[in-house]
Amino acid sequence: MNNKTVLITGGASGIGLAMVQLFASKKTKVYFIDLNPEVGEKVAQTERDKGFDVTFLCGSVADFAETEALVNSIEGKLDTLINNAGVSHIGKVENTSLEDFDRVFQVNVKGMFNCTKAALPKLKEQGGGSILNMASVAATIGIPDRFAYSMTKGAALSMTLSIARDYVAEGIRCNCLSPGRVHTPFVDGFLAKNYPGQEKEMFDKLAATQPIGRMASPSEIAELAYFVSSDAGSFITGTNIPIDGGFLGLKM
C-alpha cells in the first residue's frame, strides 16, 4: 500500500481508527469519513504531526449526494475503499422499532452501497483496486438479540459477493471481514449503560464467548484489512474472511 490511496469510512474511532493509523504508518495516503468533526480533525492532525498523509472528510455515508461529493473531493487516484462505518442495535424483531430498523439499515447497508457506488468510477478510472467491507460473524450465524444488526451484516456479505463477481474482469477485488467481538469504545459504552457496576463481570463473560478466551483488539482487525487490501492480497476476491477467535469454527 506504499504510495497508494485508501478511503476508510467510520475512521475516527474503534476499528476504523486503527485502520487509519496502520495504513498511514505504511505510507499510504489516507482519507477517512466520519460524522464527528472535532474528533475526526483531531485524529487527522495527530497523524499529520507524525508526518503521515491523512485527510478527514466530514459527512454521513447514509446520504448519497454527500458521499459522492466527499469521494469526488479526493485528489487523484483511489486504490482502496474500506466500508467500515456502522452502527449496532440490541433487540429481537418484536422490540425493534421501525425507527431503529431504518437507522441501522441507512448506515450499514445504504451507506455501504452509497460509498461503493461513489467510489467505483475512481477505481475503474485507474484500472482496478480493492473494496473491503466490514461484515460480522452475525452474517452467517444466529446471535441472540441482534436482529437488525445481523440483517445488515448479511446484506454486507451478499453485496460483497455480488460486487466481486460483477467487477472481477475490471481488476476490482471485493472482500469482507467477519470479526467476532472486538474491544472498542462501543463495547465499553454498552456495558456502562446496561450493566452499571457489573462492567468487568459482563466484559469477561462476553470475552469468553470466543473460544480463544478474549476479544480482538481493533489493531488485529486492521492488520488483516491491510493485508487483504495490499498487493500481498491480490489473489483474494469474493471471500468472507472470519477473524473471530474461533467463534465460528470451534463453537460447540
Strand positions, DSSP E, the chain: 5-9, 29-34, 54-58, 80-83, 129-134, 172-179, 240-243
Q: What is the percent of the chain where pLDDT is above 70?
A: 99
Give the strand pairing for 5-9 and 240-243: unpaired
Per-residue pLDDT, 58: 98
Q: pLDDT tens across 148-207, in order?
A: 999 999 999 999 999 999 999 999 999 999 999 999 988 898 889 889 999 999 999 999
Does an H or E element contain 48, and which?
helix 37-49
Query: What is this structure's pTM?
Result: 0.96
3-class SS of residue 92: coil
Per-residue pLDDT, 117: 98
Statement: residue 252 has pLDDT above 60: no
Residue 137: C-alpha distances to residues 27, 45, 84, 198, 209 (Å): 31, 34, 15, 26, 12
Got the DSSP string for 229-246?
HSGGGTT--S-EEEESTT
Q: Which has more pLDDT, 34 or 193?
A: 34
Per-residue pLDDT, 185: 87
What's the mean pLDDT when you consider all of the chain? 96
Q: pLDDT tens across 126-149, in order?
A: 899 999 999 999 999 999 999 999
Alpha-carbon span 62 to 246, nearest angstrom: 33
Give the residues across from 134 on adjacent strands: 177
Domain positions in the chain are 5-182+217-243
Per-residue pLDDT, 152: 98
Structurally, at CATH architecture level, domain 5-182+217-243 sits in 3-Layer(aba) Sandwich (3.40)
Q: Which whole number is the average pLDDT over 200-224?
A: 95
Statement: residue 15 has pLDDT above 80: yes
Per-residue pLDDT, 194: 81
Q: Which whole number is the average pLDDT over 52-77?
A: 97
Give the residues across from 33 on adjacent strands: 9, 57
Q: List the catalytic residues.
A: 149
